[in-house]
Amino acid sequence: MIQVIHRALNILEFLSQDPQKEYFLSEISESLGLNKATCANIIKTLTDRGYIEHEEQRKGYRLGHMAYRLTNSTFNRGLDYAFAKEEVDRLRDIINENVILSVVSNGKRILIHEAETDHELAVKTTYEQSPYKASTGKVILAHYTSDQLDNFINRYGLPSESEWEGVDSKEELVRRLEVIREAPVYVHTNSKHVASVTVPIFSKNKIVASLGVYLPDIRFSQTEKDLIISALLDTAKKIQH
């Protein structure tokens, strides 16, 4: 018997009793009869691996994206992964471009589903990335409340120059996020000739995810842009409802 593995699984099983509830460290350790320091060390490892998430210091712990990724089940406060996946795949079929569904968890933009195009020239997106660098991450941060954004900055800092050029202060970060927030769709083309179109996904008026399309800008004509925006907004509406 490998005791630490049993303890880690006990913690995950405890959190899975009520996946939407946030449990404090003291609740977990006392309920499972674990030393608080030992429990904290195991939770830190599970958090680093994405099996537990802990977004705000004032709040507790709950199951993270990797726990749900193993079973393709509901994730992130009301986002029905199975239904969303079907809609993302359907959107890919309509526009024939790469479509991704993303969340922000433990300071990273996490790709929870990608529907790939059959174009020979396509844009690949990394599974995990700084939300400051990814369009889908920026859109989620743009719809954070002031308290959520303050907490995020306190825990993970401001973006580096490579992550978001020219954002060297909190004031500048807030200003740029406000610009993104005010538009129903975030359209961006970077220096590597990659165009992205992204919309937020809400659940009960709270930001839970973002839906994005990535493609080479050589295919990003006005006609293509209009088609993508229309289809993207329609898909986001279906997922939200």
**Amino acid residing at 106:** N
10 Å Cβ neighbour count for 169? Answer: 10
What is the CB-side half-sphere exposure of residue 200 using CA atoms within 13 A?
A: 21
In a domain, residue 187? The reply is yes
Question: Which residues face 52 on adjacent strands?
Answer: 63
pLDDT at residue 153 above 90?
Answer: yes
- 71 pLDDT exceeds 70? no
Q: 25-46 pLDDT, tens per residue? A: 999 999 999 999 999 999 999 9
Q: Which domain holds residue 94?
A: 81-240
Give the mean model confidence (pLDDT) for residues 135-152.
95
- CATH code of the domain containing 29: 1.10.10.10
Task: Give the model's pLDDT for residue 224.
Answer: 93
CATH number at residue 137: 3.30.450.40
Evaluate if residue 75 carries a pLDDT over 60: no
Taking alpha carbons only, the member of 143, 114, 9 closest to residue 63 is: 9
Please state the domain count of the chain. Answer: 2
Question: β-strands 186-189, 98-105: how paired?
Answer: unpaired
Q: pLDDT band at residue 22, thresholds of 50, 70 and 90?
A: confident
Q: Is the pLDDT of residue 144 over 80?
A: yes
Backbone angles phi, psi at 125, to 5 degrees: -115, 135
Confidence of residue 157 (pLDDT cuts 50, 70, 90): very high
Query: Are residue 31 and residue 149 in the same domain, yes or no?
Result: no
The residue from 34, 69, 104 where one domain ends is: 69
The Cα 90–Cα 99 span in angstroms is: 10
Q: Is the pLDDT of residue 74 over 60?
A: no
pLDDT of residue 121: 86
Share of the chain above pLDDT 90, in %: 59
Whether 34 and 152 map to the same domain: the answer is no
- For residues 167-175, average pLDDT: 96
Average pLDDT across the chain, whole number = 89
* Same structural domain, 55 and 85: no
Task: Report yes or no on 75 lying in a domain.
Answer: no
Note whether residue 225 is domain-resident.
Answer: yes
**The pLDDT value given to residue 54:** 82
Instruction: Tell me, yes or no, whether 76 lies in a domain.
Output: no
Q: Is residue 172 part of a domain?
A: yes
